[in-house]
């Protein structure tokens, strides 16, 4: 067996030193596929299957008494199931030939990274908004969970940039972080965790009890990646400054001040980093599933956002993505769980 997963250490079948370059190579190939193609429309996607499984469980169990217990059992069962199936699949492929396990890892990285699709969607929001407010509202509804029907043009742009920052962590840095630690099983398991949170981890009447386990597990899984994302955003902006808005505070001071001004213990970090880079204001009240959710403001400069801000934010995202891919590739060379 020549695995690229945590199963390696358990079965004590390490990858030969002459082939230790293969895990980083799989990462780079998968990333290049995402860079070129994003998420091709019509292609079967495992995250869609995750969503269907979660929806079926929620429809079946989110009723009656003991919703917290049932939601916890659903969340932990799905998470463990994904990790086990992925690890066993890699193990089976490795028995046949290590190249099949490597190919699976390429596909896993391709499916689990969302950097290119995210950037395309955010750019499309700004382009749609240039045509009409209604088109902008419809386009941003594709990438946010809030009700967009009454958003102003400024709120549409704000929602798109908030999503760009938050999903730089959820869709790029966090999957790579867990891939570096636990290989493809870790990456797929993280995507299940994140999908659970995005579907049922809301503080609304319907999901407050049933989804609390999913929300808390997601908070734990994203604790380090969210802060790492903010740190990388600050680093790339400091080393390769873009002509963004002038800032009264240093980026570190800005993130330290505003990162906790968010309902989520994690999302505030990348959002604060981007708000600091752009010297703008994020947050406010939004409608989720018919309920108004108040989000504290991040920043104070409620200036109009522009297409130039979108371009600046995308450049920051891309450079953070490149740095994170390189850091992950280096980690894979020395991770004893994957070699």
Mean pLDDT by 10 residues, the chain (339 residues): 42 50 90 92 85 95 94 97 95 89 94 95 96 95 86 93 96 97 95 95 87 96 98 93 64 92 88 95 71 77 94 96 97 74
What pLDDT shows up at residue 294? 67
What pLDDT shows up at residue 339? 58
Measure Cα distances from 200 to 7, 69, 193 in Å.
30, 14, 11
**Residue 296 φ/ψ, nearest 5 degrees:** -60, 150
What does the alpha-carbon distance between residue 260 and residue 262 come to, in Å, rounded to a whole number?
A: 5
Written as six digits, the tokens of 79 are 């998470």
What pLDDT shows up at residue 241? 80
What pLDDT shows up at residue 5? 46
The reported pTM is 0.89
Written as six digits, the tokens of 104 are 């699976």
Measured distance between the N- and C-terminal CA atoms of the chain, rounded to whole angstroms: 11
């Amino acid at each position: 067996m020549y695995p690229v997963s945590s199963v390696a250490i358990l079965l004590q079948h390490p990858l030969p030193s002459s082939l230790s370059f293969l895990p980083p190579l799989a990462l780079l190939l998968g990333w290049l596929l995402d860079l070129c193609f994003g998420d091709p429309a019509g292609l079967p996607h495992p995250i869609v299957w995750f969503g269907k499984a979660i929806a079926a469980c929620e429809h079946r169990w989110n009723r009656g008494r003991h919703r917290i217990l049932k939601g916890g059992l659903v969340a932990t069962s799905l998470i463990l199931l994904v990790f086990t199936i992925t690890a066993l699949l890699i193990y089976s492929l490795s028995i046949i030939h290590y190249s099949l396990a490597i190919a699976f890892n390429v596909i896993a990285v391709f499916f689990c990274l969302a950097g290119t699709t995210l950037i395309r969607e955010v750019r499309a929001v700004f382009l749609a908004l240039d045509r009409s407010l209604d088109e902008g509202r419809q386009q941003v509804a594709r990438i946010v969970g809030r009700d967009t029907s009454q958003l102003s043009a400024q709120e549409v742009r704000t929602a798109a940039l908030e999503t760009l920052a938050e999903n730089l962590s959820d869709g790029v840095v966090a999957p790579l972080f867990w891939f570096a630690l636990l290989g493809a099983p870790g990456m797929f398991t993280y995507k299940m965790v994140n999908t659970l949170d995005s579907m049922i981890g809301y503080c609304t009447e319907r999901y407050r009890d049933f989804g609390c386990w999913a929300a808390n597990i997601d908070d734990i899984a994203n604790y380090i990646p969210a802060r790492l994302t903010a740190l990388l955003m600050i680093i790339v902006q400091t080393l390769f400054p873009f002509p963004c808005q002038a800032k009264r505070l240093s980026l570190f001071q800005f993130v330290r001040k505003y990162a906790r001004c968010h309902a989520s213990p994690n999302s505030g970090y990348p959002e604060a980093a981007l708000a600091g880079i752009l010297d703008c204001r994020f947050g406010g009240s939004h409608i989720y599933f018919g309920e108004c959710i108040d989000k504290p403001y991040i920043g104070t400069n409620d200036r109009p956002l522009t297409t130039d801000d979108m371009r600046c934010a995308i450049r920051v995202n891309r450079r953070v993505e490149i740095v994170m891919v390189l850091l992950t590739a280096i980690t894979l060379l020395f991770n004893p769980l994957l070699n």
